[in-house]
Amino acid sequence: MLGSQLRRSLAVAEKDIRIYYLKAPVVIFGILFPMFLFLAFLIGRSIPIEVMISCLLSMTLFFTATAVSPVILPWEGSVGTLERLISAPVSIPAILLGDVLASFIFGVVISIVPIAFGLLLGVRIYSPLVLATAILLSAFCFSYLGTLFSTPPTNVPSNIMMISNLFKFPLVFISGIFIPLEQMPPWGRLIALFSPLTYLTDLIRYSIQGISSYPILLDFAAIVLFTVMFMVLAMVIHMRASI
């Protein structure tokens, strides 16, 4: 049963990629949006290239992995495809996993762009294994966070976009991307603990700059914990909304 539902998740992911991700505006937006945000904050400031690439990579993965997954279910509800999907023998967790897989692939693939950009500029990756593991785990974590944003009972995608941006932008500012955790006030460091982006940022700094605020095992454990929490919450809330 589990294997058959997993195959159906893959079918949902394939559908999502064809419909929502393989579109030029989505791909371009996935690259350009973090780039512009990054430039807006860092241009004119004397910051080492390793720090700049770390910031860009964190933001790219975060924004791409949470870009489309929040709006898939409300969008499908509004155009009438969701009812057909949930009439099929596929469970709600399997549909969510499909949406998450598509988002995960998109996030991971787009993350290659800032990494390649950094390598071209001479950035050296201190620990490729830590970097790869951090990107893979965080892409899952942020993708489930994206599906959690779509739990409010609405079929209006713009409402969901508003709600998700309301959460996403503050997270960027409290996660040590623009201001390293060490330079934050104590209350800032306390709030940062509750953001999954903090731990990805820390792992990327470790991979590229060789420094981290927390032990990397703690960073990984925190990301796994956030992933499980987002996954369970998304499944419970979405299942409560349906059968």
Partner 1 sequence: MMTGLNAIEVEDLTKRFGNFTAVDHIDFKVEAGELFGFLGPNGAGKTTTVRMITGVIKPDAGKASIMGYDVERETINAKQMAGVLPETSNAYIDLSAWQNLMLMAKLYGLAKKERQNRAEDLLKRVGLYEKKDVAVKGFSKGMRQRLQICMALISEPQVLILDEPTSGLDVQSSRLIRSIIADLNAEGVTFLLTTHNMEEANQLCSRIAIINRGKIVAIDRPEVLKKRIESLHSVEVSFNRDVAQSDLSGFLGVDSVEQMGDKFRLYAREPAEVIYNLVDYARSEKVEIVSLATISPTLEDVFVKYTEVI
Please report, as ranges, the residues that interact with partner 1 according to CB under 8 A: 1, 4-5, 7-8, 10-12, 14-15, 18-19, 79-81, 83-91, 242-243
Nearer to partner 1, 12 or 148 (CB): 12
Q: Are the C-beta atoms of residues 135 and 108 closer than 8 Å to each other?
A: yes
Amino acid identity of residue 93, one-letter, is P
Report, in angstroms and rounded to the nearest whole number, the Rg of the chain calculated over CA atoms: 18
SS3 at position 23 = coil
Nearer to partner 1, 124 or 240 (CB): 240
Nearer to partner 1, 11 or 193 (CB): 11
Q: How far is the CB of 102 from partner 1 (least distance, A)?
A: 13
Amino acid identity of residue 83, one-letter, is E
Q: How far is the CB of 15 from partner 1 (least distance, A)?
A: 5
Q: Are the C-beta atoms of residues 104 and 65 closer than 8 Å to each other?
A: yes
Q: How far is the CB of 75 from partner 1 (least distance, A)?
A: 11
Instruction: Give how far Cα 150 sits from Cα of 5, 52, 61, 96, 189, Å.
Output: 22, 31, 19, 11, 28
Nearer to partner 1, 6 or 211 (CB): 6
Q: How far is the CB of 106 from partner 1 (least distance, A)?
A: 16
184 Cα distance to chain centroid: 24
Nearer to partner 1, 91 or 133 (CB): 91
Q: How far is the CB of 64 from partner 1 (least distance, A)?
A: 20
Q: How far is the CB of 2 from partner 1 (least distance, A)?
A: 11
* Residue 111: CB atoms within 10 Å: 26
* Residue 80: CB atoms within 10 Å: 9
Tokens of 243: 């059968």
Nearer to partner 1, 114 or 157 (CB): 157
Tokens of 104: 């995960």
